[in-house]
Chain A
Amino acid sequence: MSSSADSSSWPLWEVFIRGSRGLSHVHAGSLHAPDATMAIRNARDLYTRRNEGTSVWVVPAEAIMASDPDSKGGYFESAQGKSYRHATYYTQSEGVKHL
């Protein structure tokens, strides 16, 4: 029989890899696995074949909550135009050391 039966399809997991010590885990991609234990192993086999990682996280794809896509605007607008949050906004101290 074909493969579509629910009883045999494995859920989707998102994979995050730490490239080396000192770096954050970064999203590498996704895969299918029957459970978390196998997901970790599949992630090791699939996403670290060329020494890409020293640590692996897996998260069930359905457990990820996401912000709304930006088509309605608004969500990230507040951070725009507040240049005083950035050091480059302050110019009077130019030439003064260690500031």
Chain B
Amino acid sequence: MSPQNHQHAPLRLADEADAAAARDEAESGQHRFDEIIADDSRIEPRDWMPESYRKSLVRQVSQHAHSEIIGMQPEGNWISRAPSLKRKAILMAKVQDEAGHGLYLYSAAETLGTPREDMYDQLYSGKAKYSSIFNYPARTWADVGAIGWLVDGAAIVNQVPLCRASYGPYGRAMVRICKEESFHQRQGWEILYSLSHGTQEQREMAQAAVDRFYGPALQMFGPPDGDSPNSQQSMAWNIKRFTNDELRQRFVDMIVPQVEALGLTLPDPELKWNEERGHYDFAELDWDEFFAVIKGNGPLSRQRLEHYRSARDEGAWVREAAVAYANRVSQEQDRDQAALIGA
């Protein structure tokens, strides 16, 4: 018997005992987890949780974070050209908030054991998904308004129920985000209001932006319930509280009176009030386009990714310098301390 084999025997026993203990822990953990979910209470980072719950959350929360980060680009492009200093300040504050919201969400995902660097790498490599809406261009100033009103509006409808998500850190991040975003939608609506009450040219600009962003905004709620494989499980875990279609309907019902107040129209000839359902009926969306954009073939998918990559690349030396400086200072402190003890 080789020494290696000799060593293996007791090890195997220990492995089995460990495995049994892990099974017990998983069983009692699963039981406790199920109880917490059934009570509609919250799961916290150090609680036992099923691996599939952890994975599903990391995916959802990091995608949400990536969307905030990529979402800075279409509006960020307009900071330099905003048509008044007040609008410039508002827009800069909003785009900055998006960086902040990305940070809150990355932090929530980190409590699940995935370092932020890993999530960055996923986005960098093009493996990670983010909201397809940000792969569309913001061509005109009115697009900035439409993004605020429709895109942030849809995001808020999606996010308010997420404040009660079963995973504590995610819910808490959403509370902070929803509080801060309440101004985002209003400022967008106000931009469109000023345009629709301005010159003929401004009004046309506003209508064209609403026409462009209406469909993609509705698609932000995700594919129809029948094509959304993860939704059922997410709802069973109290992460999601409403289905994609329910939220989409809620959003349409919300924006119809808002577009009327703007004096603009939504680009859907089939849109009409259904007395029986108590909701607006609306036309089927272009899902082929949606899936193509999700797969990375949106109008600006490559540009958005390249922008992100070049910022990461060009910042690497700065991040490294800061780490080197921190190491240097802590070494100097150690030396000073050693000298003090020596004396």
Contact = CB atoms under 8 A, between A and B. Distances in A.
B320 to A, nearest CB: 4
Nearest to B96: A49
A50 B100 CA distance: 12
Contacts of B110: 12, 30
Contact of A3 (B46, B117, B323): B117
A69 B43 CA distance: 10
A59 to B, nearest CB: 14
Contacts of A1: 313, 316
A7 B117 CA distance: 12
B307 interface: no
A9 interface: yes
A83 B172 CA distance: 31
Q: Which of B25, B322, B323 has the most CB of A within 10 A?
A: B323
A49 B322 contact: no
Contacts of B323: 7-10, 34
Interface string B42-62: 001011100000000000000
A9 B116 CA distance: 9
A10 B46 contact: no
A68 B44 CA distance: 12
Interface in A25-40: 29-32, 34-35, 38
A3 B124 contact: yes
A65 B320 CA distance: 29
Interface string B77-116: 0000000000000000000110010011001001000011
B124 A32 contact: no
B173 A29 contact: yes
Contact of B325 (A7, A34, A50): A34
B70 to A, nearest CB: 16
A71 B118 contact: no
B32 interface: yes
Interface residues of B, number: 39
Contacts of A3: 117, 120-121, 124, 312, 316, 319
Nearest to A34: B322
A1 B100 CA distance: 25
B29 interface: yes
B28 interface: yes
A93 interface: no
A35 to B, nearest CB: 4
Contacts of A31: 103, 107
A4 B107 contact: no
B322 A38 contact: yes
Contacts of A71: 25, 28-29, 32, 47-48
B48 A4 contact: no
Given A4-B118, A34-B323, A69-B46, A49 B316 contact: no
Contact of B100 (A7, A9, A49, A72): A49
Given A2-B124, A10-B319, 8 more contacts: A4-B120, A5-B320, A7-B323, A29-B176, A30-B107, A35-B329, A35-B330, A69-B44
18 contacts: A2-B120, A3-B124, A3-B312, A4-B121, A7-B323, A8-B319, A9-B117, A10-B319, A29-B107, A31-B103, A34-B325, A34-B326, A46-B100, A49-B97, A66-B46, A69-B47, A71-B32, A72-B28
Interface of B: 25, 28-29, 32, 44, 46-48, 96-97, 100, 103-104, 107, 110, 115-118, 120-121, 124-125, 172-173, 176, 180, 312-313, 316, 319-320, 322-326, 329-330
